[in-house]
Amino acid sequence: MNLRTLSFALLFSLIAVGSLPAQSASSETTVITHVTVVDVATGTELKDRTVALQGGRIVSVSVSDSNAPAQGSVIDAHGGFLIPGLWDMHVHIQDLEDLPLYIANGVTGVRLMFGSKHTPALRAKLASAPVAPEVIVGSAIVDGDPPVWEGSIVVKRPEDARRTVDEIKADGADFVKIYNGIPRDAYFTLADEARKQNIPFAGHLPYKVRASEAADAGQRSIEHLDGIAVGCSKREESIIKELQPLHYIEKMNLVAAAFNSVDAVKCQALFAQFRDKGTWQVPTLTLHRAFGFLNDGHFTSDARLAYMSGEVRHRWQPENDFRFRRWRPAEFELHRELFSADEKLTGVMYRAGVPLLAGTDAMNPFCFPGFSLHDELGLLVDSGLTPLAALQSATLRPAEFLGRTEELGVIAPGKRADLVLLSADPLADIRNSKQIQAVWLQGKYFDRAALDQLLNSAKRRFGKSKLR
């Protein structure tokens, strides 16, 4: 491809999202001065610092010196608070047009929980998005028979599980995403093969597997607090016998029964196991809250719907979702009770030292790409996390989970220049994580006007850049 066609292709891709955000060339030095650097590892706030960026990396962090000669472009961030770029560790992406919303909300990385059977093609599509967070790409969902979602990989027997892991590894996904209906024997074979192939497996807890068994088997993360209340219950064995895939109302009642029969000692033993084995929990409180409030007109008239396509707004109505079609007010009420039990459970796990990650389940009803990560941080604080711990669950902890603390998670020389500038202190009040003045995405600068441009483009979109 010669230079002319390259620039045409670039122009075309930028037109696709509406406008070119303000960006500085990454070879140039950018200096952010007089900013308070939030050290998310310790909770220390380093006042009046100068942070220099070059080539998409942080080059230095030093005390601001007004006599120092200006070099490169200088951004005076007096009064501002600088935090590492945020990660949403549980998302779904349906449309490339969702992706700028992450950047507009300071989310510079996401973990995609339902990939594709053709990962290289998916990665190529994702790479064509002009403004996007880094995406950790899960496999297609691996489920039992029948699968919940179209496009899943079905495993019935242990040999299916072994072959599936081999195929997913060869296809290049970052991890194997597992789901509710995998039979027990297939699950343990999948875990064995994943260990042999050195590929992580993560996702739901299959209905027929105990949370303690999943920790022993090496499941890297459990989503949605799946199986935790059941694993804490005196009735664990009988509840697992009764759980059936696709029976959502029955499942809700069984989880409620589990919460009502919790054995605190058993619970602490399970949490100790999560700690020892490194079984990360992604509570997705945003999702649990949404399911409980889908019949609440105040909740469903969220102003952020303006950023979603008409098709998504339609799909998010409960009558258009197979999971909620049988729900009456009593089911929504029960789910609201489960949501507050989930918050309490999250607080107990936090105090027990269970490693936690912030994840929203974006693109599920009323789980907004980008925006909802801030909802999740607020819900984690409501659950008992400190603002610092909540912030860690979206910065330092994802870096640890991904084994990438060398380049991500904190503001320090050598780390990637993924940064969010806030106008107020997030450690004083986690809601200040929404007061975003600027974002750097691998060194690319988006000032407030550029972020607003991303938001305004989203309002005009039609949802036509489908991922599949």
- Which residues make up the interface to Zn ion (CB under 5 A)? 113, 361
234, 266 Cβ separation under 8 angstroms: yes
Q: C-beta of 142: minimal distance to Zn ion in Å?
A: 14
Query: Which tokens belong to 80?
Result: 């501002």
Write the CA distances from 326 to 98, 139, 323, 331, integer angstroms.
30, 30, 8, 9
Q: Closer to Zn ion by CB, 113 or 211: give it.
A: 113
Taking CA 201 as the corner, what is the angle to CA 231 and CA 159, rounded to the nearest 5 degrees?
Answer: 100
Closest by alpha carbon to 305, among 317, 291, 293?
Answer: 317
Q: C-beta of 113: minimal distance to Zn ion in Å?
A: 4
Residue nearest to Zn ion (CB): 361
DSSP codes, 194-218? HHHHT--EEEPPPTTS-HHHHHHHT
Q: C-beta of 56: minimal distance to Zn ion in Å?
A: 30
Strand partners, 110: 88, 135
Query: Which tokens belong to 364?
Result: 């599920």
Q: Closer to Zn ion by CB, 102 or 440: give it.
A: 102
Residues 6+ apart with CB under 8 A from 440: 30, 53, 85, 417, 418, 419, 420, 446
Q: C-beta of 161: minimal distance to Zn ion in Å?
A: 21
Q: C-beta of 261: minimal distance to Zn ion in Å?
A: 27
423, 272 Cβ separation under 8 angstroms: no
Q: Closer to Zn ion by CB, 113 or 420: give it.
A: 113
Q: Closer to Zn ion by CB, 43 or 318: give it.
A: 318
Q: C-beta of 149: minimal distance to Zn ion in Å?
A: 10
Q: C-beta of 361: minimal distance to Zn ion in Å?
A: 4
Q: Closer to Zn ion by CB, 97 or 361: give it.
A: 361
Residues 6+ apart with CB under 8 A from 373: 86, 88, 105, 106, 107, 358, 360, 394
| Cα(22)–Cα(12) distance, integer angstroms | 17
Residue 83 DSSP SS3: strand
Q: Closer to Zn ion by CB, 342 or 361: give it.
A: 361
461, 454 Cβ separation under 8 angstroms: no
Q: Tell me how many helices (H) and strands (E) the chain has.
A: 18, 16
Q: C-beta of 124: minimal distance to Zn ion in Å?
A: 23
Query: Which tokens belong to 218?
Result: 């090496």
Q: Closer to Zn ion by CB, 17 or 126: give it.
A: 126
Q: C-beta of 385: minimal distance to Zn ion in Å?
A: 21
| Cα(109)–Cα(223) distance, integer angstroms | 18
Q: Closer to Zn ion by CB, 35 or 113: give it.
A: 113
Q: Closer to Zn ion by CB, 134 or 226: give it.
A: 226
